[in-house]
Amino acid sequence: MENKTSYKEALTNKIFSITSQAAKELDVKSYVVGGFVRDLLLKRDFKKDIDIVAVGSGIDLAQKVSSLLPRKPKVQVFKTYGTAMLKFEDIDIEFVGARKESYTEESRNPHVETGTLEDDQNRRDFTINAMALSLDENNFGALVDPFNGIGDLKDKVIRTPLDPDITYSDDPLRMMRGIRFATQLNFTIEEGSLKAIERNKERIRIISGERIVDELNKILSAPVPSIGFLLLHQTGLLDIILPELTALKGVEEVEGQKHKDNFYHTLEVVDNIASNTDDVWLRWAALLHDIGKAPTKKFSKKVGWTFHGHEFVGSKMVKKLFERLHMPMNQKMKFVSKMVMLSSRPIVLSEDVVTDSAVRRLVFDAGEDIESLMTLCEADITTKNPNKFKKYHNNFKIVRQKIVEVEERDHVRNFQPPITGEEIMATFGLTPGREIGTLKEAIKEAILEGEIPNEYEAAHKFMLEKAGKMGLQKK
């Protein structure tokens, strides 16, 4: 269905007129499709990529476009998929031949055949991504919108072009994508489509962890990530993907004592942190900061509900979760694990008298990540009691000020011991062994406790005294 409205004026980038010329020379029809068209109609900043469909060979069109561009950019060809890509003005432009697809049950990789523009639009995931703008010189900028995607954009609805059960069963990643678009755009998933996700949720198991995490990262990077996680939970996908999170859901009551629902609390924390940072790994830390509470939950008649050691247990769970989903097992995982491990420390500190030694230990353990940790802990305050909320945040200001003062004086953020192991060995004529570790640990503890300043002379004097008590003699 061709829409009478023309978007010719919006296709100002030189790539569109050159593609039009190249398509004319090859005698093929070409269209810009997908996310670029959607974002153009939504008046959103488009991502740095454009998809162009040729009713013919996408590879031939890419090579012809390159020949007409200044500097003739290199064309990357992916013969297996019948696609080609080139870069122009920092924009990645992908060319593909119009195709129709058929799927088998075991895989999301389709059997592909050459098709018409209609076939190509039929295979798209959602109506808002199935619109095309013609690059033909006779109707340049005309909108081809067979499924009323423009109406769904106006109504803020996510809907599949064809039967949603077929769409999701064919490529189960589309279930995640639908939820991701609903989160990013603050759209509603059409009811029939939402129920189809629930019916097809088990199909997500054929999707690789990397693909799932890519969508989770995009949901977490949205302005209000909880929209997506509530939809993942509602459809049953979250139980399969992140059972550690759904295990937090629910409130138990024993002898009139309840604990808060840690699942909904977690989503509040994630939304709070999303309003303070773009760091997706700190957002992951917020999402996982309480996962240790499900396995550590106990009821005691004396104190009620407890979650002793949940930070330690949670930090260990982070590693297993990252492994299961094939997430990066590098500094990113270590950062999230560390944030989970330390997540309660500033809160405990803010409830008590803020001592220098407690702050020194916090800065020592958090190191360069102290600011991220404080941001996470401030996001963790979700009490609806205005007096409590104010008290916590005022106390956090005191903790932050104390961190600045202690760091200026004691320099423990990137702690390097004033006395090295080599110097200890040379001073007492020792070979590597337990005594060196004992002395180094004693010096570190003395500095963190404020018994001595973080300076060489004071540490050297302390070392001699401690060594004497251990029966070590200076060489």
Q: What is the pLDDT of residue 203?
A: 95
Q: So where are the chain's domains? A: 2-154, 156-241, 421-469
For the chain, how far is it from start to end, CA to CA, in angstroms? 92
| pLDDT attached to residue 257 | 64
Find the angle CA(87)-CA(90)-CA(92) to the nearest 5 degrees: 40
Does the pLDDT value for residue 4 go beyond 60?
A: no
- CB burial of 430-455 (b: ≥16 within 10 Å; e: otherwise) equals beeeebbeebbebbbebbbeeebebe
User: 274 or 407, which is more confident?
Assistant: 274
Determine the pLDDT at residue 145. 95
pLDDT in tens, 15-71: 999 999 999 999 999 999 999 999 999 998 877 899 999 999 999 999 999 999 988
Neighbour order of strands in the sheet with 76-78: 2-6, 142-144, 132-134, 29-33, 49-55, 91-97, 83-88, 76-78
Q: What is the pLDDT of residues 191-222, one digit of tens each?
A: 999 999 999 999 999 999 999 999 999 999 99
Taken as a whole, the chain contains a residue count of 475
More confident residue, 80 or 371: 371
pTM confidence score? 0.88
Tally of helices (H runs) and strands (E runs) in the chain: 24, 16
Closest CA to 215 of 245, 272, 173: 173
Strand 157-158 to 188-189 pairing: parallel
Burial of 89 (0-12, 13-18, 19+ CB in 10 A): exposed
Q: What distance in Å separates the CA atoms of residue 378 and residue 156, rounded to the nearest whole number?
A: 33
Quote the pLDDT of residue 242.
Answer: 98
pLDDT interval class at 130 (50, 70, 90): very high
2-154 and 156-241: identical CATH topology: no
Q: Is the pLDDT of residue 146 over 60?
A: yes
Let me know: does 391 contact 381? Beta carbons within 8 Å. no
The reported pLDDT for the residue numbered 299 is 77
In the DSSP assignment, the letter for residue 144 is E
What number of CA atoms fall less than 13 Å from residue 444's CA on the CB side? 17
Share of the chain above pLDDT 70, in %: 93
Closest CA to 194 of 154, 158, 148: 158
Which stretches within 289-418 are classed as H helix? 293-296, 310-324, 331-342, 345-351, 356-366, 370-379, 386-410
- pLDDT tens column, 89-117: 889 999 999 987 655 666 656 566 678 89
**Helix/strand/coil (H/E/C) assignment for every residue in 280-312:** HHHHHHHHHCCCCHHHHCEEECCCEEECCCHHH
CATH 3.30.460.10 for domain 2-154:
yes
Note the pLDDT tens digit of each residue in 212-255: 999 999 999 999 999 999 999 999 999 999 999 999 997 665 65
* pLDDT at 475 (0 to 100): 77
CA–CA distance, 7 with 9 (Å, rounded to integer): 6
- The Cα 169–Cα 462 span in angstroms is 69
Over residues 115-128, the pLDDT tens digits come to 889 988 988 999 99
Query: Are 413 and 452 a contacting pair, CB within 8 Å?
Result: no
Q: Which CATH number fits domain 156-241: 1.10.110.30, 3.90.190.20, 1.10.1200.10, 3.40.50.10210?
A: 1.10.110.30
Render pLDDT for 389-406 as a digit per residue (tens, 0 to 9): 888 888 888 889 888 988
